[in-house]
Structure formats: structure tokens, C-alpha cells
């Protein structure tokens, strides 16, 4: 734009020079210049009004100005710029009349050009007032409100491209959190074959801005798609294409980003240490790439006219929110907000398959697990198709979700399934007949589910990985590290709210004898069963962890030692009366000893609280085992 202003200034100076110092040249020179200018103005949508008018004025004056028939060429230019919606300042409209100052008899020309300007002002604007076919739909009522809200803002928070870039950056950041790599590099295809540009890079090395993939490991993507893993990379790091200098890369993982079956980008994750990528890493990267593909799709289509401006902003907002989000609850919340902003008077239901059932979440927060069967949505999920039902009363007597469902009082529905490895979708219900537009409303919902699907899959996979990181692999209770973190948090919360908190330390009596006599496999079986039995008998707010070996610990928030003692005795009695049976049909009995401590009574900090519970456990062992003892003051 600054370049256009500079050129316009030079052309204006040349125009004024020609007004007072006309040149005697062939008419074909200005005619040729005008033809080129018209071609540029028609083909170049981003041309500014001041560049267009100054260039035309210069060419007309070059051909003789007022005395030339080329003077009428102003007329089509004015109306062409008007049609594009460019706001012309009034003083620019009198630019062609500057040449009148060199003449005396200018009145006829003034009348002619004044008539043109008068018609221009009266001509209705085209841009921003398209002829829209009025179709009753779920969002008609809020179009005016949102458009008025947008028009009141002097400027938008950021451009569309900035929002997409922010979403891409968030996706790269989450890859770093997932894999802890040396570099994450996002390559975007350029116009030249095999040439890619580094769009985003997070690296400890020096990165090349342009990358050619016609050679080197990344050339694999010229004929293949999916995820490429090399856990024994012995070649030079420079051959990867994006490093300027050697970085001593030991392994890397890369995936193509595709749009309409074409590679539009490549994401690469590498490491300088011998820490190989596994199948779970490939799944996690694939889930992120699905989100990146959706971003590229949005970027390609962001100028599609059939998307209403405010809905497109909602989609971009959703993309930005979920691109860097790995908590399923936050992803679900963002989806509900986007639907609320995009549709009017609808009831939203989020469906996600977990195991053999669907986790159903309604917009008011109610949740339940159900097997969807013999219903409208069950059939749509089975066939993986979108639905728009204008009048449910004309449908066969099938339920919407399942036979025992509550009465939704719905007259019409809109449904879009997730596409990918996650099963589920988004369901919209309305109490009005024919409330949804089959084309516009369904297209927007399909885009919401496309954005949501990759984010939901990513959140589900991350939650699985997180549970692996904080759970003990044998007993599926929390591990020692997570116990230490949660005890810090719960103690701080108890002190902040002036509430009690207690701790149980539990040890299996004579467990070594079982391992020695019956083998470690039977010992592992007993540890698993003891963990399961205790998990079934504690509260949802209590935190059970395997402290180490045959020792467990339980954090009891908002619980005094006296109440903790009652729970401990219940656990001890349960284990004592349980008969454990091995796969070889060997029967075992085992007992546990428990120590109890309370913050504020037996200790003032975490180390002392653990030590106090340990003293109670020691006294229980010393007193004959199979006992519960509260720590001494």
C-alpha cells in the first residue's frame, strides 16, 4: 500500500507537469498506457483509488487532456471502483479538472464532469449490500445484532490471517509440550515445485527459511503420505533441508499436511538425543496434523462468500481456542460457546463414544452414559452421515438418541458426526418446525465438527498419556510422584480454607513371605486386588497412591484424624476378610497395618505429616500388625 502511495505521488506530479507543459506525442502511446492501466485495475482487486485515478489522469493528460477523446475514460474507472466498494474522497473526484486551470473556456467540461460526479454519488453502492434471499433459519434474528456490533468497532482485534497464524503457533506449542523435541518446524508449500517455506519454527538450531524437498529424507512425501519416523538418523542434519548448520539430530518424525489430496505443508519434530518415537507418538502427531489440515482448509476458503462474516469469526475463534487445548472439558466448553454464537434457540448435545457407550453431555451440564440404539442418531453414526430433519413428527416413531430418553420436545434437528478416529458428534435440537437451513446451517455445523474432531481426538489421546504418567502401572492407583504433588496442593488448600486434612500410610503385612513362597506373579495379583478394593471404598475426593513396594497412601481432604481412623478400620476389615485366589486356584489371606496423621495436630508441614503417619504405621506393626494407629502427639 505504501508503494502505491509513492507511485501515486509521482504520477500526480507528472500529471501537473503535463497540465502546464503538454507534450506533442503520438495518440497511440497514451492509448496503450490506458489499455495497460485498465487491465491492471480490472485484474488487481487490491488497487487503491488514489493510484487508479492518478494513473488514469496522467495517461489522459499525456494524450491531450480536455482536448482529447480519452477524457471520457474517467467514467468507467469511477464506476468500477465504486462497484468494489472503495470509499473515494471528494477532492479526488475533481482531480481530472486540474487541467482546466490551464484553459479559460472550461465551463462545458465542468458541466460534463459535474454530471458524471452527480451520477456517481447517486449510484447505489454494491459492496456490502448484496441481494440476499431471505430464508428462515436459526440465526436470522441475530445477524443484525452481530453486524451492528461489528460496525460499531473501529477496528478488529486482529486480521483473519493473524488468527490462523496464532492457531498454527498454538498447535506447534502443544507439539513441544507433547514430545519435548529439539526442533519443531512447520513447512508450507510455495509456488515452485518441491519448494517449501518455514512458516513457524521452534528450534535450538539455526533454521533455513526456504527448504527444497526434492532430495533428502523429506523427499519421501513426494510419493507417500502419513507419518514418517526415523529413529536411527545417521545422516547430516543439513540434509533434512531446514538446518543451516549441523545440529547432530539423532531421530525425527514428520507428517504431511494435506488439502484436497495435495501436500500443502509438512510438520517435522526432531531430537538430538537417542529417544525414539513410538506408535503412540505417531498417533498424537496425526491427531495434531488433522487440526492443522483444518486450519489450512479454513485459510484456503476464508474468502468463500457463502460463509457469513460473524459465523466465520466464530469458527476462527473456535480454532484458536482448541488448537492449543489438551483438556477435553475445555474443548467441549469451546464447542458449546461456538454453537451458541452461531445458532439461535437451539439445544446442544455433545456425543463422544467411550468404550461401548456414548458419553452424552447436554448444554446445561447434565451428563450420562448410554448405548445409542434403534434411534435417528444411532443410524446416522453408523453410516457416518450428517442429518437435517425439518419435521420430526413426520418421522417414523424412532427416538432421537435411545428408547428411554427424556422428552426433548424437539420438532426439528441438525446433526453432524465427527470424522476421524473419534466416534460421536454434535446434535442441535429446536422446538420449531423447519428451523434449520439444510445448506447453510448444516455446512457451518459440519465445519464446527471438523474443527472439533481433531481437537477431541488430541485431548482423548493426551488424557490417556497423562493417566499413564500419573498412574502406577500395576495397581492403576496414582504413583508416588503424583502423590507428592497432590499432597502439596491439598495441604495448601486446607491451610487456605482453614480445613482439616489427614493422611493414611498403609502397609501389607508379611507380604515378603507371599512373594517368597508363591512367587512375584501372585504377589502382583494381591497388590492389584488390594488397590481395587481400596479404590471402591474411598470417596471421590480422596487420593489413593502406591507409595512404593507393598505400601499405599491415601490423602483425605476435609477429614480429621478421628474420621480417617474410621475409614482406615473399614479398609483393614475389608482386606482381612477377603480371600484372594490365584490363577492356579491358590487361596490367600492377607492383612494390612495403617498409620493415621492429621495436619495441625500431628504436623505443620508435608514432611512432618508423612513422618507422623509413618510413626502411626510403625506403632501398628509393633503392636502386632493388622491394626490402625493414630500418630502420637
End-to-end CA, the chain: 78
Mean pLDDT of 538-555: 92
343: pLDDT strictly greater than 80: yes
Name the average pLDDT for the chain. Answer: 81
Q: Are 94 and 54 in contact (CB under 8 A)?
A: no
CA distance 386 to 372: 16
What number of other Cβ atoms are within 10 A of residue 284's Cβ? 23
290: pLDDT strictly greater than 70: yes
Calculate the dihedral angle through the C-alpha atoms of 490, 495, 498, 499, rounding to the nearest 10 degrees. Answer: 30
Please tell me the predicted confidence (pLDDT) of residue 302: 53
Q: Are 351 and 426 in contact (CB under 8 A)?
A: yes
Please tell me the predicted confidence (pLDDT) of residue 165: 77
Closest CA to 68 of 111, 28, 13: 28
CA distance 178 to 464: 12
250: pLDDT strictly greater than 90: yes
449: pLDDT strictly greater than 90: no
Mean pLDDT of 83-112: 57
Helix, strand, coil percentages for the chain (3-state, nearest 5): 50, 20, 35
CA distance 223 to 225: 7
Which residue is it, cell 460526479? 117
What number of other Cβ atoms are within 10 A of residue 626's Cβ? 18
Residues 6+ apart with CB under 8 A from 397: none
Say which CATH superfamily domain 480-630 falls into.
Reverse transcriptase/Diguanylate cyclase domain (3.30.70.270)
What number of other Cβ atoms are within 10 A of residue 91's Cβ? 7
Q: Which residue has the higher pLDDT, 223 or 325?
A: 223
The domain limits of the chain are: 2-122, 178-283, 325-441, 480-630
Q: Find the helix or strand (DSSP H, E) in which 10 lies.
A: helix 2-20
CA distance 380 to 446: 14
Residues 6+ apart with CB under 8 A from 295: 164, 167, 168, 171, 319, 323
Q: Find the helix or strand (DSSP H, E) in which 269 lies.
A: strand 262-271
Question: 53-67, 270-284, 342-356, 599-613: lowest mean pLDDT where?
Answer: 53-67
Mean pLDDT of 481-493: 92
Q: Which residue has the higher pLDDT, 355 or 1?
A: 355
Pairing of strands 501-508, 357-362: unpaired
Please tell me the predicted confidence (pLDDT) of residue 301: 57
CATH number of the 178-283 domain: 3.30.450.40
CA distance 279 to 232: 15
Separation of CA 1 from chain center:
33
Q: Which residue has the higher pLDDT, 495 or 310?
A: 495
Q: Which residue has the higher pLDDT, 105 or 185?
A: 185
Mean pLDDT of 254-280: 89
Please state the three-class secondary structure of 278-323 as a single string: CHHHHHHHHHHHHHHHHHHHHHHHCCCCCCCHHHHHHHHHHHHHHH
Please tell me the predicted confidence (pLDDT) of residue 444: 84
Q: Which residue has the higher pLDDT, 155 or 88?
A: 88
Please tell me the predicted confidence (pLDDT) of residue 499: 94
Q: Are 317 and 333 in contact (CB under 8 A)?
A: no
In tens, the pLDDT along 2-27 reads 676 777 778 778 777 777 777 777 77
159: pLDDT strictly greater than 60: no
Segments in 156-233 forming alpha helices (H): 160-179
Question: 50-54, 136-140, 165-169, 387-391: lowest mean pLDDT where?
Answer: 136-140
Q: Find the helix or strand (DSSP H, E) in which 415 lies.
A: strand 412-417
CA distance 151 to 602: 64
Please tell me the predicted confidence (pLDDT) of residue 137: 38
Please tell me the predicted confidence (pLDDT) of residue 578: 93
Closest CA to 332 of 165, 176, 171, 451: 451
Query: pLDDT class for 108, splitting at 50, 70, 90?
Result: low
Question: 48-57, 363-372, 602-611: lowest mean pLDDT where?
Answer: 48-57
- Cross-strand partners of 358: 353, 370
State which CATH number among 3.30.450.40, 3.40.50.300, 3.40.710.10, 2.30.33.40 fits the domain covering 325-441: 3.30.450.40
Q: Do domains 178-283 and 480-630 have the same CATH topology?
A: no
Q: Find the helix or strand (DSSP H, E) in which 200 lies.
A: strand 195-203
Q: Please give the grid coordinates belonging to residue 27.
A: 495518440
Segments in 21-159 forming alpha helices (H): 28-43, 49-62, 74-83, 90-93, 107-122, 140-152
Report the range out of 89-103, 152-166, 538-552 with the highest average pLDDT. 538-552
CA distance 556 to 501: 6
Q: Which residue has the higher pLDDT, 440 or 195?
A: 195
632: pLDDT strictly greater than 80: yes
Q: Where are the beta strands (DSSP E) in 537-621?
A: 543-548, 551-557, 580-581, 587-588, 592-598
Percent of the chain whose predicted confidence (pLDDT) is above 90: 36
Please tell me the predicted confidence (pLDDT) of residue 158: 44
Q: Which residue has the higher pLDDT, 219 or 322?
A: 219
C-alpha pair distances (Å), 440 with each of 344, 426, 434, 444, 447:
14, 16, 13, 6, 11
C-alpha pair distances (Å), 21 with each of 30, 71, 82, 94:
16, 18, 32, 20
Question: 41-45, 443-447, 487-491: lowest mean pLDDT where?
Answer: 41-45
Please tell me the predicted confidence (pLDDT) of residue 126: 37
Please tell me the predicted confidence (pLDDT) of residue 241: 92
Question: 105-114, 130-139, 434-443, 623-632: lowest mean pLDDT where?
Answer: 130-139
74-83 vs 28-43: helix axis angle to the nearest 10? 10
Pairing of strands 628-630, 592-598: parallel
217: pLDDT strictly greater than 70: yes
Please tell me the predicted confidence (pLDDT) of residue 2: 62
Q: Find the helix or strand (DSSP H, E) in which 376 lies.
A: helix 376-383
pTM recorded for the entire structure: 0.42
Instruction: Give the SS3 label for residue 255.
Output: strand
Mean pLDDT of 598-622: 94
Query: pLDDT class for 147, splitting at 50, 70, 90?
Result: very low
Q: Which residue has the higher pLDDT, 473 or 39?
A: 473
Q: Are 426 and 346 in contact (CB under 8 A)?
A: no
Calculate the dihedral angle through the C-alpha atoms of 216, 222, 225, 226, rounding to the nearest 10 degrees. Answer: 20
CA distance 39 to 41: 6
545: pLDDT strictly greater than 60: yes
Query: pLDDT class for 398, splitting at 50, 70, 90?
Result: confident
Please tell me the predicted confidence (pLDDT) of residue 304: 43
Please tell me the predicted confidence (pLDDT) of residue 207: 92
Separation of CA 318 from chain center:
7
- Phi and psi (nearest 5°) for 610? -65, -45
CA distance 265 to 106: 61
CA distance 530 to 302: 57
Q: Which residue has the higher pLDDT, 304 or 215?
A: 215
Mean pLDDT of 593-598: 97
Amino acid at each position: 500500500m505504501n508503494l502505491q502511495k509513492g507511485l501515486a505521488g509521482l504520477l500526480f506530479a507528472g500529471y501537473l507537469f503535463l497540465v502546464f507543459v503538454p507534450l506533442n506525442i503520438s495518440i497511440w502511446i497514451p492509448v496503450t498506457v490506458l489499455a495497460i492501466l485498465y487491465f491492471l485495475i480490472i485484474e488487481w482487486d487490491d488497487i487503491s483509488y488514489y493510484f487508479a485515478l492518478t494513473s488514469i489522469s496522467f495517461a489522459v493528460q499525456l494524450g491531450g487532456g480536455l482536448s482529447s477523446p480519452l477524457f471520457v475514460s474517467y467514467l468507467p474507472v469511477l464506476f468500477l471502483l465504486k462497484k468494489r466498494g472503495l470509499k473515494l474522497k471528494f477532492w479526488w473526484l475533481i482531480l481530472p479538472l486540474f487541467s482546466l486551470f490551464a484553459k479559460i473556456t472550461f465551463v462545458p467540461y465542468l458541466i460534463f464532469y459535474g454530471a458524471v460526479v452527480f451520477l456517481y454519488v447517486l449510484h447505489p453502492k454494491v459492496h456490502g449490500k448484496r441481494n440476499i434471499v431471505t430464508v428462515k433459519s436459526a440465526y436470522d434474528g441475530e445477524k443484525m445484532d452481530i453486524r451492528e456490533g461489528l460496525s460499531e468497532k473501529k477496528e478488529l482485534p486482529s486480521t483473519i490471517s493473524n488468527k490462523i497464524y496464532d492457531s498454527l503457533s498454538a498447535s506447534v506449542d502443544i507439539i513441544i509440550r507433547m514430545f519435548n523435541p529439539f526442533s519443531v518446524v512447520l513447512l508450507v508449500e510455495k509456488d515452485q515445485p518441491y519448494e517449501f517455506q518455514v512458516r513457524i519454527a521452534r528450534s535450538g538450531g539455526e533454521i533455513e527459511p526456504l527448504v527444497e524437498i526434492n532430495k533428502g529424507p523429506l523427499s519421501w512425501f513426494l510419493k507417500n503420505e502419513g507419518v514418517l519416523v526415523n529413529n536411527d538418523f545417521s545422516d547430516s542434519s543439513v540434509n533434512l533441508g531446514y538446518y543451516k548448520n549441523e545440529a547432530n539430530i539423532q531421530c525425527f518424525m514428520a507428517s504431511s499436511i494435506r488439502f484436497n489430496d495435495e501436500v500443502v505443508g509438512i510438520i517435522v519434530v526432531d531430537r538430538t538425543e537417542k529417544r525414539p518415537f513410538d506408535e503412540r507418538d505417531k498417533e498424537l502427531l496425526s491427531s495434531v496434523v488433522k487440526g492443522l489440515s483444518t486450519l489450512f482448509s479454513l485459510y484456503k476458503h476464508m474468502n468463500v462468500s457463502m460463509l457469513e462474516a460473524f459465523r466465520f469469526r466464530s469458527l476462527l475463534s473456535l480454532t484458536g481456542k482448541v488448537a492449543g487445548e489438551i483438556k477435553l472439558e475445555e474443548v467441549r466448553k469451546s464447542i458449546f460457546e461456538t454453537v451458541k454464537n452461531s445458532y439461535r434457540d437451539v439445544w446442544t448435545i455433545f456425543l463422544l463414544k467411550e468404550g461401548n457407550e456414548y458419553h452424552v453431555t447436554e448444554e446445561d451440564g447434565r451428563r450420562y452414559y448410554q448405548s445409542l440404539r434403534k434411534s435417528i442418531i444411532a443410524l446416522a453414526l453408523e453410516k457416518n452421515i450428517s442429518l437435517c430433519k425439518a419435521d420430526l413428527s413426520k418421522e417414523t416413531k424412532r427416538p432421537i438418541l435411545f428408547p428411554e430418553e427424556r422428552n426433548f420436545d424437539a420438532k426439528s434437528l441438525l446433526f453432524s458426526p465427527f470424522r476421524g478416529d473419534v466416534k460421536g458428534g454434535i446434535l442441535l435440537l429446536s422446538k420449531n418446525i423447519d428451523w434449520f437451513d439444510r445448506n447453510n446451517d448444516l455446512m457451518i455445523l459440519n465445519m464446527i465438527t471438523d474443527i472439533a474432531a481433531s481437537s477431541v481426538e488430541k485431548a482423548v489421546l493426551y488424557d490417556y498419556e497423562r493417566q499413564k504418567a500419573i498412574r502406577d502401572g500395576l495397581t492403576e492407583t496414582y504413583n508416588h510422584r503424583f502423590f507428592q504433588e497432590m499432597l502439596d496442593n491439598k495441604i495448601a488448600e486446607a491451610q487456605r480454607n482453614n480445613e482439616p486434612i489427614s493422611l493414611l500410610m498403609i502397609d501389607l503385612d508379611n507380604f515378603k513371605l507371599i512373594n517368597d513362597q508363591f512367587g512375584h506373579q501372585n504377589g502382583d495379583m494381591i497388590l492389584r486386588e488390594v488397590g481395587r478394593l481400596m479404590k471402591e471404598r474411598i470417596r471421590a475426593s480422596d487420593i489413593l497412591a502406591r507409595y512404593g513396594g507393598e505400601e499405599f497412601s491415601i490423602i483425605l481432604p476435609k477429614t480429621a484424624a478421628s474420621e480417617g481412623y474410621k475409614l482406615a478400620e473399614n479398609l483393614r476389615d475389608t482386606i482381612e476378610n477377603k480371600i484372594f485366589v490365584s490363577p492356579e486356584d491358590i487361596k490367600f489371606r492377607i492383612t494390612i497395618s495403617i498409620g493415621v496423621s492429621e495436619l495441625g495436630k500431628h504436623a505443620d508441614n508435608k514432611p512432618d505429616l508423612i513422618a507422623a503417619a509413618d510413626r502411626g504405621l510403625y506403632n501398628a506393626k509393633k503392636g502386632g500388625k493388622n491394626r490402625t494407629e493414630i500418630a502420637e502427639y
